[in-house]
Amino acid sequence: MTLARESTTRSVGRGSTSFFRQRERPDSSKHAKPILVMEEVYKYFRRDVPTLKNVNLKINRGEFVFVTGPSGAGKSTLLQLIYRKHTVDSGRILFSGRDVARLTKSSIPFLRRNLGVIFQDFKIISHWSTFENVAVALEILSIPKRLIRSRVAEALDRVGLAGRGNEHAGDLSGGEQQRVAIARAIVTEPALLLADEPTGNLDPGLSIDILTLFEEIHEAGTTVIFATHDHSLLQAAPHRLVMIDDGHVIEASQGLRAWAARTQSMVAS
Amino acid sequence: MDLSTALSRARRNFLDDWTLHAVAIASLVVAFLCLGATLFAVANLNRIAEKWGNTQQLSLYLKDGTEKADVSQLQFVLESLPEVAAVEYLTPAAAQKKFLEQTDAESDLASLPTEVFPASLEIKLTQGVPEGRLQKIIDRLQQLAPVQEVESYRGWFEHLASLLQASRWSASVLAALVAICVIAVIENTVRMAIAHRSDEIEVLKLCGATDGFVRMPFVIEGAIQGSVAALFSILLLLVAYAIVSGQVGYTFATLTGVSLTFFSPQIGLAVVIGGGAAGALGSLLSLRRYLSV
Ligand SMILES: Nc1ncnc2c1ncn2[C@@H]1O[C@H](COP(=O)(O)OP(=O)(O)OP(=O)(O)O)[C@@H](O)[C@H]1O
Ligand SMILES: [Mg+2]
């Protein structure tokens, strides 16, 4: 419940001019505040084979983290545990200090208001307009219509779709549809953005554009967790990288990153 | 969440999925028409019963050619009975006039010759004459020489009362059936609407919509479908009534002594509100069953 209150006051209270305000820059010192902490997390979909085992992960406010791993490794599962599509079987997931796993069903919506989630398949409503697709996130927060209009316009501007609110979302290109989804995720100014293969359905040039957009959003102060198995993206951006391998989450060294890049280019050639 | 958002979402859903809603409303209109027609019958039977039910009176039809003196004597005897409040002598001419007055509408019967109306003594009884005593008086009067027939109106009134009772019963049963019908139809409509809008519901939940926010538009839609169907069928009935009452209204008035009327606005309002409530209930049941939140 407290999560909700924070979110609403922040969203309503903040005027439109502060939309682009830089949050505190990420601080690499020991005193940096973690926004997300996973402690000994286990998740089983089958009785004896855990999809995730003993996951320990700490992500600080303002970080940009890639999550990678082969198909079926559990990247989506990891993100789904954070936004409570699934619940951990053991362990804790602390988001802003609160244990997500122990939220009651009725407080899950208030957790999600503090998160922005973006998917490979966009999940936008094709028979709605671009504006409506973004505005829905604010309508849920009971924000006045006038404020919704200005904030949606700014969000669309931020993702490069300024002035295209009246277009039918179904008529947009794939890249544009994903930009609408990103606008919907950021329009509420969540502290944490979860992106699950956001470039999975886009061709390579567009993928880099979308990654750049996420980096801009990150620059403005939002923490980003970006799940992908596209090594060209991992190579293109020097961010923290964690790998999921056999259910374990491993912090990837620069060497590993280089190895990943090599295998990628080998596969490509 | 605020109602205006829910209303505008419901409106948008109506427009997006209007065929589904139109089909549901059309089928509910049929159900409401049956209920409305029965309520119409009840309302008119009720009026007839009210008109005739509290006439505590007897008519003593006299044989043709009864002497004036015999009539006066009979009148005197009757007036001395404690159960009798007043006695009025009706000549055939007066009887015709009164008959025409009692029927609200102008009547073809006005052209009937005066002779077909028998002379009578109209007896007003005091309130609350016991059943047995009344029967005894009737039996005794029947035996008097100038008396052709004693009309107590009771047989007729009992018929009317049982008819009224039966139609009230059928109206209640029909109301229950219509409510079940509305609930079932709307439950099914909402089930389909949930399926059509599953992607939308998913997005809402991902953005942090509460169960109430997701459900409210469906409940509003159910309520609107129920009440719109009720309102529409009442309007249809009113049109039918306007047409029919012009044609048979006055025959009806001649036969029953009351003019044909539509049921009261209060009953109409109750039907509309009941329709809305049943619709909302159907929607809630459907959401409970088919929307896993
Ligand atoms: N709801 C579920 N029920 C049962 N098993 C599931 C469920 N969700 C995921 N799994 C299993 O968990 C494992 C991890 O799935 P997940 O979708 O997290 O992988 P991923 O890393 O996102 O893969 P991809 O790169 O293909 O998207 C898979 O073996 C999958 O079959
Ligand atoms: Mg996945």
DSSP chain B: --HHHHHHHHHHHHHHTHHHHHHHHHHHHHHHHHHHHHHHHHHHHHHHHHHHHT--EEEEEEPTT--HHHHHHHHHHHHHSTTEEEEEEE-HHHHHHHHHHHSSS--GGGGS-GGGSPPEEEEEEPTT--HHHHHHHHHHHHTSTTEEEEE-SHHHHHHHHHHHHHHHHHHHHHHHHHHHHHHHHHHHHHHHHHHHTHHHHHHHHHTT--HHHHHHHHHHHHHHHHHHHHHHHHHHHHHHHHHHHHHHHHHHHHHHSS---PPPHHHHHHHHHHHHHHHHHHHHHHHHHH---
SS3 A86: coil
A85, A140, A193: which to substitute to probe chain B, counting the most B Cβ within 10 Å? A140
Q: Which of B1, B203, B209 sits opposite A125 (nearest CB)?
A: B203
pLDDT higher than threshold 70 for residue B152: yes
Q: How far apart are CA A68 and CA A243, in angstroms?
A: 5
Of all protein residues, the one whose alpha carbon is nearest to atom 14 of ligand 1 is A74
Of all protein residues, the one whose alpha carbon is nearest to atom 18 of ligand 1 is A74
Residue B277, C-beta contacts closer than 8 angstroms, at least 6 positions apart = B223, B226
For chain B, the average pLDDT equals 85
Ordered strands of the A223-227 beta sheet: A115-119, A192-196, A223-227, A64-68, A240-245, A248-251
A115, A125, A134: which to substitute to probe chain B, counting the most B Cβ within 10 Å? A125
**A110 vs B contacts (CB less than 8 Å):** 208
Of all protein residues, the one whose alpha carbon is nearest to atom 8 of ligand 1 is A77
DSSP-assigned beta bridge partners for residue A36: A59, A95
- Beta-carbon pairs below 8 A across chains A and B: 48
How many whole angstroms from A76 Cα to the centroid of ligand 2?
A: 4
* Residue A29 Cβ contacting ligand 1 at under 6 Å: no
Q: What percent of chain B has pLDDT over 70?
A: 94
Please tell me the pTM assigned to this model.
0.76
Cβ-defined contact of B207 to A112 (cutoff 8 Å): yes
Per-residue pLDDT, A85: 95
Residue A261 lies in a domain: no
**A117 vs B contacts (CB less than 8 Å):** 206
Q: Which comes out higher in pLDDT, residue B129 or B28?
A: B28
Per-residue pLDDT, A23: 44
Q: Ligand 1 atom closest to Cα of A80?
A: 18
* Residue A58 Cβ contacting ligand 1 at under 6 Å: no
Instruction: Kindly state the average pLDDT of the residues B223-243.
Output: 95
Instruction: Kindly state the average pLDDT of the residues B217-226.
Output: 94
Q: What percent of chain B has pLDDT over 90?
A: 38
CA distance A29 to chain B (A): 33
Tens of pLDDT, residues B165-221: 888 898 899 889 988 999 999 999 999 999 999 999 999 999 999 999 999 999 999
Distance (Å) of CA A176 to CA A154, A186, A188, B123, B244: 16, 15, 19, 92, 62
Per-residue pLDDT, A31: 55
Instruction: Kindly state the average pLDDT of the residues B40-52.
Output: 83
In order along chain A (269 residues), what is the average pLDDT of each group of 10 residues?
Answer: 40 34 44 87 93 95 94 94 95 94 93 95 94 96 93 95 94 95 96 95 90 94 94 88 91 66 59
Per-residue pLDDT, A13: 35
With cut-offs at 50, 70 and 90, classify the pLDDT of residue B61.
Answer: confident
Per-residue pLDDT, A235: 86
DSSP-assigned beta bridge partners for residue A240: A65
* Residue B263 backbone class (left: φ over 0; alpha: ψ -120 to 50; beta: rest): beta
Residue A154 lies in a domain: yes
A44, A55, A76, A199: residue to mutate for ligand 1 pocket, most atoms within 8 A of CB: A76
Per-residue pLDDT, A98: 92
Q: Where are the domains of chain B?
A: 3-51+166-290, 56-152
**DSSP label at A103?**
-
Instruction: Kindly state the average pLDDT of the residues B216-243.
Output: 94
Distance (Å) of CA A131 to CA A134, A169, B156, B227: 5, 9, 71, 32
Cβ-defined contact of B208 to A113 (cutoff 8 Å): yes
Element (H, E) at A212: helix A204-219
With cut-offs at 50, 70 and 90, classify the pLDDT of residue B246.
Answer: confident
**A183 vs B contacts (CB less than 8 Å):** none
* Residue A73 Cβ contacting ligand 1 at under 6 Å: yes
**DSSP label at A97?**
T
Burial class (CB in 10 A: 0-12, 13-18, 19+), A29: exposed
Residue A145 lies in a domain: yes
Instruction: Kindly state the average pLDDT of the residues B78-96.
Output: 83
Total of domains in chain A: 1
What residues of chain B, 161 to 220, have a C-beta less than 8 Å from chain A?
A: 199-200, 202-211, 213
A105, A122, A139, A193: which to substitute to probe chain B, counting the most B Cβ within 10 Å? A139
Residues B282 and B222: beta-carbon distance below 8 Å? yes
A174 lies in which domain range? 123-189
CATH hierarchy code of domain B56-152: 3.30.70.3040
With cut-offs at 50, 70 and 90, classify the pLDDT of residue B51.
Answer: confident
Which ligand approaches the C-alpha of residue A50 most closely? Answer: 1
Residue A22 lies in a domain: no
Per-residue pLDDT, A254: 57
User: B176 φ, ψ to 5°?
Assistant: -65, -45
pLDDT higher than threshold 70 for residue B19: yes
Per-residue pLDDT, A119: 94
Residue type, A223: T
Cβ-defined contact of B2 to A125 (cutoff 8 Å): no
Q: Ligand 1 atom closest to Cα of A74?
A: 18
